[in-house]
Chain A
């Protein structure tokens, strides 16, 4: 089929990011629930519990950021290469030059 590679790469980018963000948000909600309940039980330990909560949230967030980096940069780079190979690099440049952001900024530093 013609556009199979391009279509599946684009699908992988979208679904991967959506799955990572939603499951990450669910896990963080469990962590916040535990922390808020612990603070409600013992308000004087609030500072220590808050610090542990922030560190735990950042560690969960790291995994979501890994997915963002892989899908947003690595897979998107593959997608761009496939599109350039299929349609030719000069036509892609012509389409990018019409983009209004690039027109205003004077043709940016698009790679």
Chain B
């Protein structure tokens, strides 16, 4: 998108080497190739780090846990409690996907604050992918819980009397449009917040570099904004997960009330 400055990261030397030696795939050679390569590189970095930490934790599970296992147990327990309170009685079944999304998005947001690295979620491509996968999971869990006919009935407005059966052709496109707009709003919220934080930190750097002592800036102006960015990263990951839980709760609401 026009007008945004992208500072170099640690993936840039790797991109230059790949470009020179010709190992680069076709779709990464254009004018946006550098940004897309940074995105893929840092996503893979987060995936590898999270997988290694989880593997090390789960390989030796003890009855009296050490520090690493206790930390992981606290995180999983709090996430399970959140899902139970938001979805209802069957919330813990969705812990595998939604808990992973929360931790993954939180780490993706945080990695941009480390000098020399870029958040993959500050690019709209990454957040659209996350949102589409989440919404497909929500639809699938709705179909699995209510059956395909129940899912279609819910899309038609769950008609109960003659009057509601008549306006089904009106309610169906409205609900369908709502379902299609959900990934758009989820992705734009995450993208706007994280890239907005990056823009604000960049503006703080531009302001602070006017006052220089011995060639180094005097006032570290971006530091409070980076502290606020940690809070925003956590909050946006939490909002993504909480809204997915609410969508699941709406779709899997049983009519017979059990």
Taking beta carbons and an 8 Å cutoff, which residues of A are in contact with B?
A: 48, 51, 54-55, 58, 61-62, 65-66, 68-69, 72-73, 76-77, 80-81, 100-102, 104-105, 108-111
Contact = CB atoms under 8 A, between A and B. Distances in A.
B2 A76 contact: yes
Q: From DSSP, what is the main secondary structure of chain A's interface residues?
A: helix
A21 to B, nearest CB: 12
Interface string B65-80: 0000000000000000
B2 A68 contact: no
B196 A111 contact: no
Contacts of B185: 62
B161 interface: no
A51 B81 CA distance: 12
B189 A73 contact: no
B137 to A, nearest CB: 20
A51 B1 CA distance: 34
Given A65-B192, A108-B5, 4 more contacts: A54-B235, A58-B235, A73-B4, A109-B34
B130 interface: no
Contacts, number: 68
Contacts of A65: 188-189, 192-193, 196
Contacts of A105: 7-8
A27 to B, nearest CB: 16
Interface of chain B, helix or strand or loop or mixed? helix
A102 B206 CA distance: 10
A58 B238 CA distance: 10
Interface string B28-45: 000100110000000000
Contacts of A109: 5-6, 8, 34-35
B125 interface: no
Contacts of B238: 54
A104 B212 CA distance: 14
Contacts of B236: 58
Contacts of A58: 189, 235-236, 239
Contacts of B243: 55
B3 interface: yes
28 contacts: A51-B85, A54-B238, A54-B239, A55-B239, A55-B242, A55-B246, A58-B189, A58-B235, A58-B236, A62-B189, A65-B189, A66-B188, A66-B192, A68-B192, A68-B196, A69-B188, A69-B191, A73-B1, A76-B2, A77-B3, A81-B2, A105-B7, A105-B8, A108-B5, A108-B6, A109-B5, A109-B34, A111-B4
Nearest to B6: A109
Contact of B199 (A55, A72, A108): A72
Contacts of B31: 111
A68 B191 CA distance: 11
Given A54-B235, A62-B185, A101 B192 contact: no
B209 interface: yes
B5 to A, nearest CB: 5
A81 B5 CA distance: 16
A76 B5 CA distance: 13
A7 B243 CA distance: 40
A73 B209 contact: no
A101 B188 CA distance: 28
